[in-house]
Amino acid sequence: MDLFVALALQIIYGIANLVLISLGLAIIFGMMRVINLAHGEFLMLGGYTVVVSTNNGVNLWVAMFILAPLVVGLIGVIVERCLIRFLYGRMVDTLLATWGLSLLLIGLVTTIFGAQTSTTISAPFGPIQIGDYTSSGYELFLICVAVLLSLAVYLVLRLTKLGLVARGTMQSADMAAALGVSTSKIYMITFGLGAAVSGFAGALLAPITGVLPTIGATYIAKAFITVISGGAAILAGTASASVLLGGINGIMAFVTGPTIGEVALLVAAIILLRLMPRGITGRFFRKNL
């Protein structure tokens, strides 16, 4: 029983982890049809924001919940204004340009902070006992945050004017422009929002993974798999793909070890795409967000 609870927690954490690292990417992809290859670096920048600000005496929670999304969101807006907006409608060029951005950001951070970072942040919660097993309190906390973050994104998209206008713009940019909506502004805000969510996720994960200029590479494989398996619907896609892939990953990792878990994730995603080329939400939950 204890083993079961511990295992279940492990799998749920795996799912929550996928949601956290993919959500920012999914927002940008779902709303703008832009696959941001610099997504991993947005997560990385979130982590660095926390490290730098806590080193300068800022409270950890302030750094995580306020500074990281703010800083990375702002960077996102700048990137959109200076680079992405020249490439709308050119998906392949956008991919390439964001890849260039990814390298640029890695290089920039390496130049400023060095290739290694000595300071790490320790996880704010201690371990929790479940019978004979221990589970990380911080991981439990992250599960809750992932749920709340998804809920917040849902509410923003569902209830606010911004969400409504944004969804309308994504459905038909011409139509929205004809109605007097500034598409350019919407794209900018959307990209900034996606970047902010990524920065927040990177900040949350920093205590677990540490921060390195190249840490982005460890996130992006999973994030990409999740988003393209999920398909166009932002929340339904991310959630369903995270549950499916996180579940497979967790079970395989438990049975055979972490190496095979990740390979199983990829194989599952490739087979899934053979069956549903436009992702899970290309076939199911099509009307959802």
Give the interface with other proteins as residue ranges (CB under 8 A).
35, 83, 86-87, 91-93, 95-97, 99-108, 110-111, 213-214, 217-218, 220-221, 224-225, 228, 258-259, 262-263, 265-266, 269-271, 273-275, 277
Comparing CB distances to other proteins, the nearer of 69 and 202 is 202
- Can you tell me which residue has the tokens 């703008």? 32
Alpha-carbon distance of 176 to 156, in angstroms, equals 19
Alpha-carbon distance of 106 to 90, in angstroms, equals 24
In whole angstroms, how close is the CB of 262 to other proteins at the nearest point? 6
Pick from 280, 289, 21: which is nearest to 146 by CA?
21
Pick from 169, 165, 284, 187: which is nearest to 236 by CA?
284
Comparing CB distances to other proteins, the nearer of 228 and 248 is 228
CB 10 within 8 A of CB 213: no
Comparing CB distances to other proteins, the nearer of 130 and 221 is 221
Judged on CB neighbours under 10 Å (0-12, 13-18, 19+), 8 is exposed
Pick from 29, 43, 40, 42: which is nearest to 91 by CA?
29
In whole angstroms, how close is the CB of 165 to other proteins at the nearest point? 24
In whole angstroms, how close is the CB of 37 to other proteins at the nearest point? 8
In whole angstroms, how close is the CB of 97 to other proteins at the nearest point? 5
Comparing CB distances to other proteins, the nearer of 63 and 101 is 101
Comparing CB distances to other proteins, the nearer of 163 and 202 is 202
In whole angstroms, how close is the CB of 1 to other proteins at the nearest point? 31
User: Which tokens belong to 58?
Assistant: 């800022």
